[in-house]
Amino acid sequence: MRLRRPCWMATVACSAIVMMTACTATPSVPSPSPSAPTAAAVVVPSGIPNDPALRADASMSTCAAAGNGWKAAGLVNNSSSHRRDYHLTVLFTTTEATAIGVGTTIVHVAAGAKTSWTVMSAAPVPPPALCVLSGVG
């Protein structure tokens, strides 16, 4: 009988532990909170002018929040011997590459000259945003 008594006591002790853990309230796992609202995607224009030879003349140096939207800015360096009109298109995107703003400008640059350009988007892009010089034509 002495051999059975320790087994019986161990069985009772284990049963008590199992019952206590089964009756103990488990902490609930909070459901994930909804992410911050995102801006709606825009329709990207088709047929964006893009000429690789002209693209080499354009650069973008600024992408920053401006008022209720975003601003991209840069420089066009006309290396040709005649005046050129540069059609610049900038997409303003989320960090996931969803276009939520678009802006265009035409820059008139004299032969051999440099001219600054700026494109604005009124789309309230949540920071951080990206500016993509998507077309130079």
- Under a CB-based contact definition with an 8 Å cutoff, are residues 90 and 131 in contact? yes
- pLDDT tens track for 31-41: 443 344 455 67
Which residues lie closer than 8 Å to 22 by C-beta, 6 or more apart? none
- 130 in a structural domain: yes
**pTM recorded for the entire structure:** 0.69
Portion of the chain with pLDDT greater than 90, in percent: 49
- The residues pairing with 64 across neighbouring beta strands, listed in sequence order, are 71
Mean of the per-residue pLDDT values of the chain: 79
- Under a CB-based contact definition with an 8 Å cutoff, are residues 97 and 87 in contact? no
Q: What is the CATH number of the domain that holds 119?
A: 2.60.40.10
- 44 in a structural domain: no
Which strand (E) or helix (H) includes residue 131?
Answer: strand 130-136
- pLDDT tens track for 83-128: 999 999 999 998 888 888 899 999 999 999 999 999 998 877 677 8
* Torsional class of 95: left (φ above 0), alpha (ψ -120 to 50), beta (otherwise): alpha
Domain residue limits at 82: 52-136
Cα-based distances in Å from 37 to 32, 40, 49, 93, 125: 14, 9, 32, 15, 11
- pLDDT tens track for 57-89: 999 999 998 888 899 999 999 999 999 999 999
Our count of domains for the chain comes to: 1
- 126 in a structural domain: yes
- 12 in a structural domain: no
